[in-house]
Amino acid sequence: MRIVDAEVVVTSPGRNYVLLKLTTSDGHTGWGDATLNGRELAVAAYLSEHVLPLLDGRDASRITDTWGFLYRGAYWRRGPVTMTAISAVDQALWDIKGKAAGLPVYELLGGRCRDGVTVYGHASGAGIEETVAGVQDFLDRGYRAVRAQSRIPGLVATYGIGTGVSEVYEPAVGAVPMEEIWETGPYLDFVPRMMARIRAELGYGFDVLHDAHHRLTPIQAATLGRSLEPYRLFWLEDPTPAEDQSAFRVIRSHTITPLAVGEVFNSVWDCQQLIGERLIDYVRTSVTHAGGITHVRRIFDFADLHGVQTGAHGAGDLSPVGIAANLHVDMAIPNFGIQEYMGHVEPTARVFDVGYHYSEGMLHVSDRPGLGVDVNEDAARAYPYVPRQLPVVRLRDGSMHNW
Ligand code: GCO
Ligand code: MG
């Protein structure tokens, strides 16, 4: 089973997606997600210029060997662009292996550990009342876990707020980044009041999550975590920029609010200390950005050894192929925690024929062989790439901060 054709497909049905299609000598096709929001074309070029020429004629069944060939063979290891490109090859090879075997990928990973994949939805609002109503709406639709974000009074723009017409917001707009202003004081005052209202009005019979999106210093994060303890969050996500892994010792020593980190990580080395020292409770690496199914499984196994559960990134900037790949892993690992699920904007369904479906707080993978997502290439061509940049953030004095 040799690889005889490889193609990069860039499409924008509401958001930009980069996909890789591999075809084998015996007629199987495999799809992989290579989407890196805001830097899509860098991955597309890395694949086309540096990876695809190496795949021609390779044995498609040798997934781990191909992974090592691309990771070690580049010499320049890791980084989001390289690892997203390797991820796409890896997913496409697992898709092919499943199709060749006539089995869904989770069967190849050891079979189902659970009936379905518990997901959390994204509720947000222009203020506390709207956010509480947004959480209630998710609960009405059967979700048992909801992330709550709200516009912060006094700040013009806040991370994570939907447009009002849909929870599937797209923060990346325009060829030049939008600039937002950030102030930590009002945020630290507001979030505990929001969580207090959510629990007072809706009770404790469901899980609530919150994403601080890398904005705080370690001691500010510790302060927030401690002030949220009465509301028993499922997790507080990305309180500080996690390239500084030892910062989490400070946060951890002050609060028992559970911590989730890792959507921007692309290798096990990015979370070695966080997991090895049990500084976090959930690791958020995704199949799309952290080296594919092959490498994410190793991260999740390492996490399991240290009592850390999974909570893979699943924002709408991951294509349905990447979401499906995450779901197969989620089904097959013992230490699954939760899966993020934002859904996709409407035109996406014209390009992707998605095998998984939502029901009663869970996503269910299909039993189609492989990853279970088909791509309509004619439809994909009808949505050409649109340059979109994620916002940037400044403090009141004009200095750069983390978005
Ligand atoms: C999340 C994330 C996203 C990211 C986005 C960037 O928790 O879902 O923080 O909202 O900001 O994926 O492309
Ligand atoms: Mg996040």
Q: Output the residue whose Cα is nearest ligand 1's atom 1.
A: 315
- Residue owning the nearest CA to atom 10 of ligand 1: 315
- What per-residue string of b and e applies to 148-174 under the rule 16 or more CB within 10 Å gives b? bbbbbeeeeebbbbbeeeebbbbbbee
Atom number of ligand 1 nearest to Cα 237:
7
For 399, the token pair is 């200095």
Task: Give the number of residues written for the chain.
Answer: 403
> 238 alpha carbon to ligand 1 midpoint, in Å?
10
Residues 83 and 208 occupy one common structural domain:
no
* Domain membership flag for residue 385: no
Q: Which ligand is nearest to the CA of 237?
A: 2
The helix (H) or strand (E) run that includes residue 133 is helix 128-140
* Residue bearing the CA closest to ligand 1, atom 2: 315
354 alpha carbon, distance to own chain's centre: 17
Pocket test for ligand 1, best of 209, 213, 393 (most atoms within 8 A of CB): 213
Number of domains in the chain: 2
User: Does residue 327 belong to any structural domain of this protein?
Assistant: yes
379 is a domain residue: no
Nearest CA, atom 6, ligand 1: 37
**Domain for residue 383, yes or no?**
no
Terminal CA-CA length for the chain: 45
> How far is 384 from 291, CA to CA, in rounded Å?
26
Beta carbon of 215 within 6 Å of any ligand 1 atom: no
Same domain for 213 and 356:
yes
Kindly state whether residue 279 falls inside one of the protein's structural domains: yes
Query: Which residues, at least 6 apart from 323, have a Cβ–Cβ distance to it below 8 Å?
Result: 314, 341, 356
**Does any domain span residue 244?**
yes
* E-only strand ranges, 212-252: 235-237
Q: Are residues 89 and 195 in the same domain?
A: no
Long-range Cβ pairs for the range 198-203 (8 Å, 24+): 198/131, 198/132, 198/135, 198/148, 198/231, 199/230, 199/231, 199/232, 201/132, 202/132, 202/135, 202/136, 202/139
Same domain for 15 and 137, yes or no, is no
Q: Beta partners for 9?
A: 19
At residue 170, the pLDDT reads 75
- Whether residue 263 has its Cβ less than 6 Å from ligand 1: yes
The preferred substitution site among 313, 344, 393 for testing ligand 1, maximizing ligand atoms within 8 Å of CB, is 313
Q: What is the residue range of 136's domain?
A: 108-372
Write a three-state SS string for 84-118: HHHHHHHHHHHHHHHHHHCCEHHHHCCCCCCCCEE
State whether the beta carbon of 95 lies less than 6 angstroms from ligand 1.
no
> Which domain CATH number covers 13?
3.30.390.10
317 CA → ligand 1 middle, Å: 8
pLDDT of residue 164: 55
Assess if residue 382 is contained within a domain: no
Residue 51 DSSP one-character state:
I
- Give the residue numbers annotated as catalytic, written as ranges: 159, 213
pLDDT for position 217: 98
CA 396 to each of CA 20, 83, 184: distance values in angstroms, whole numbers, following the listed order: 42, 35, 10
Question: Which one of 70, 103, 136 terminates a domain?
Answer: 103
CATH classification of the domain holding 165: 3.20.20.120
Do 331 and 302 sit in the same domain of this protein? yes
Does the beta carbon of 317 lie inside 6 Å of ligand 1?
yes
Do 210 and 241 share a domain, yes or no? yes
Instruction: Answer yes or no: do 352 and 211 share one domain.
Output: yes
Q: Are residues 54 and 141 in the same domain?
A: no
Domain co-membership, 317 together with 174: yes
C-beta 340 within 6 A of ligand 1 = yes
Residue among 36, 317, 342 whose CB has most ligand 1 atoms within 8 A, to mutate: 317
Q: What is the pLDDT along the chain (403 residues), one digit of tens a residue?
A: 999 999 999 999 999 999 999 999 999 999 999 999 999 999 999 999 999 999 999 999 999 999 999 999 999 999 999 999 999 999 999 999 999 999 999 999 999 999 999 999 999 999 999 999 999 999 999 999 999 999 999 888 888 887 655 566 778 888 899 999 999 999 999 999 999 999 999 999 999 999 999 999 999 999 999 999 999 999 999 999 999 999 999 999 999 999 999 999 999 999 999 999 999 999 999 999 999 999 999 999 999 999 999 999 999 999 999 999 999 999 999 999 999 999 999 899 999 999 999 999 999 999 999 999 999 999 999 999 999 999 999 999 999 999 9
Tokens of residue 344, six digits: 């996709």
Residue 238 alpha carbon to ligand 2 centre in Å? 6
Residue 390 domain-assigned?
no
pLDDT of residue 157: 81
Q: Which atom of ligand 1 is nearest to the CA of 403?
A: 11
Q: Which ligand is nearest to the CA of 289?
A: 1
Alpha helices in 230-366 (DSSP H): 247-254, 272-276, 292-305, 320-332, 348-351
Domain boundary among 83, 103, 123: 103
Q: Are residues 57 and 181 part of one domain?
A: no
Is 114 in the same domain as 90?
no
177 and 29 both lie in a single domain: no
Q: Give the up-direction half-sphere exposure of residue 300: CA atoms within 13 A in the CB hemisphere.
A: 28
Rounded to whole angstroms, how far apart are CA atoms 63 and 53? 17
Does ligand 1 come within 6 angstroms of the Cβ of 37? yes
